[in-house]
A and B are shown apart, each in its own frame.
Chain A
Amino acid sequence: MNTICVIGASLAGLLSARALRGQGYEGRIVLIGEEKHRPYDRPPLSKDFLKGAISETDLALESEGEDPDLEWRLGGAATALDPAIRRITLSDGTSLLADGIVIATGASARRLPAAEGLPGVHTLRTLDDARALRADLKTAKRLVVIGGGFIGAEVAATARELGLEVTLVESGQAPLAHVIGVTMARAIAGVHEKRGVQLVCGAHVTALTGAHRVDGVRLADGTHLPADVVVVGIGAVPNTAWLEGSGLELGDGVLCDEGGGTSVPGIVAVGDCAAWFDPAQGRHHRIEHWTGARQRAGVAAATLLSGGTARPEPARPAYLWSDQFDVKIQLIGQARDADTVTVEEGDPANHSFLAVYRQGGRPVAVLGVNQVRLFTRWRRHLETAPAQAG
């Protein structure tokens, strides 16, 4: 191979490029990024960066002096792919041919159609999103967050720490319940309530109100929640629209084998846009966690360089973290597969505990809340146990 094109210049793209170099590839690497920014770390956007505790420089993913000899094309998206000849068309109308392609275009925040174009309504995915939200929060008094996933819960916590009145609207029984189960989610919800976040659960949003700027959120039961700023945190959709009609197999993301190989030889996909086959679950699914991109970039690079003959090691179980107020939340494995969950250390009421999720008596997930040391031991246990999947 003489030219490899990595499409997407965030974590998965940068690490894939580095892995290609690390695995001995000396040819040309072109890195295409839709955003104009050099690769940056997204997790702090809802936490320390939003709070103003760290700067944009701190977000950079590249090390000082790092030079993996990459050709950067930033500020323009790839708009089309011809897989047969591996030709990529860019938004400025130019195109380039590659011998190998890594698709790492990530995901975009899902939006509420009703909120399009209404000032004061935000999603949070990119650095530009975070800048805009940070600026808007400076003059705001009341924030309503729609969606109690990780982004929503983190933004709620950060804004509360910034002194805003915060209401978090969740359609389920508690924020994060779909990830960690209702029992443990209630313990985390207790942290938010104790710190003054108003939780509205089992609620459905019917409208955003305000003529020229958002002034509130209307719920299905008629409640009106006044707001100066609204953050919509209702999940993410893979950035694969540009591949429709290309012939590449798509589902909820680019469909890949367990090594990241797509349906077309010479093209791999990794990160939030990619749905790798998971042998343990017998299906394709996306992993939207930071660590998923990190663990898989090297695998995808090996698949590409070997022409698909490299056999990947079994996937490590998914690991994620979240910081909300002074609480460090860590989760490994698939809690939703569990039939029991038990607190093995500490007390949820004190916001310091470790819980183990089991399926048929076998640990399948572990949740740590301010239990970093003990969690590491459990993580090691789960990662080294056979036949775990992410």
Chain B
Amino acid sequence: MIPACPLASLPRGEAVRLNVNPPIAVFHTDNGEILAIDDTCTHQDASLADGWLEGCEVECPLHASRFDLRTGQVDAPPAKRPVRTHQVVVQNDVIYVVPSDAPPNLPPCVTVRERE
């Protein structure tokens, strides 16, 4: 489990990026859910934590593909592959992410860094 941040420091409607490899974005939706996905858009190198959170979806800040935070599914081009989702645990008012074992869907030209 990776500690993300204290629950109190992530208000509803906000996101935080974890600088792990590859980076993870944690969202606090307007209806109180906390959800985590890979931070990098599957189309091009853009940070989804910088995107537009609406309901349970985030819109990529560059090219406006929308990802479902629960399933990772994408609605329309230019992205065409889902983004990887991660499990979130809240313990003692701290948000933790349990990173997925599945391979990430990183965009072309972006790879998992070999070394931190």
Contact = CB atoms under 8 A, between A and B. Distances in A.
A373 B50 contact: yes
A116 interface: no
B98 interface: no
Contacts of B62: 321, 328, 330, 372
A84 interface: no
A372 B50 contact: yes
Contacts of B63: 290, 321
Given A53-B108, A54-B108, A372-B47, A64 B52 contact: no
A43 B44 CA distance: 12
B80 A294 contact: no
Contacts of B108: 48, 53-55, 58
Interface stretch (A85-93, A147-155, A210-218, A374-382): A374-382
B6 to A, nearest CB: 21
B46 interface: yes
Given A54-B108, A328-B62, A330-B62, A61 B80 contact: yes
A63 interface: yes
A321 to B, nearest CB: 6
Interface string A7-31: 0000100010010000000000000
A353 interface: no
A319 B109 contact: no
B51 A376 contact: yes
B83 to A, nearest CB: 13
A234 B81 CA distance: 34
B23 interface: no
Interface string B41-82: 000001100111000000001111000000000001110110
A62 B78 CA distance: 9
Contacts of A372: 46-47, 50, 61-62
B52 A376 contact: yes
Nearest to A60: B80
Contacts of B64: 291, 294, 319
Interface residues of B, number: 16
B11 to A, nearest CB: 15
Instruction: Specify which of A11, A63, A380 lies most central, judged by the most chain B CB atoms within 10 Å of its CB.
Output: A63
A319 B78 CA distance: 14
A35 interface: no
Interface string A60-72: 1111100000000
B50 A61 contact: no
Contacts of B76: 15, 18, 294
Interface in B16-47: 46-47
A99 interface: no
Interface in A31-69: 41, 43, 48, 53-55, 58, 60-64
B21 to A, nearest CB: 21
Instruction: Specify which of B52, B77, B80, B109 lies most central, judged by the most chain A CB atoms within 10 Å of its CB.
Output: B77
Contacts of B50: 372-373, 376
B15 to A, nearest CB: 10
Nearest to A328: B62
Contacts of A376: 50-52, 61
Interface string B81-116: 100000000000000000000000000110000000
Interface string A306-319: 00000000000001
B78 A41 contact: yes
A60 B78 CA distance: 9
Contacts of B52: 376, 379-380
Instruction: Specify which of A54, A58, A291 lies most central, judged by the most chain B CB atoms within 10 Å of its CB.
Output: A58
Interface of B: 46-47, 50-52, 61-64, 76-78, 80-81, 108-109
Interface of A: 11, 15, 18, 41, 43, 48, 53-55, 58, 60-64, 290-291, 294, 319, 321, 328, 330, 372-373, 375-376, 379-380
Closest 7 interchain pairs by CB?
A373-B50, A63-B80, A376-B61, A54-B108, A372-B61, A58-B108, A61-B77
Given A55-B108, A330-B62, 7 more contacts: A15-B77, A53-B109, A63-B81, A294-B64, A321-B63, A373-B61, A380-B52
10 contacts: A11-B77, A18-B76, A41-B77, A53-B108, A54-B109, A55-B108, A58-B108, A63-B81, A375-B61, A380-B52
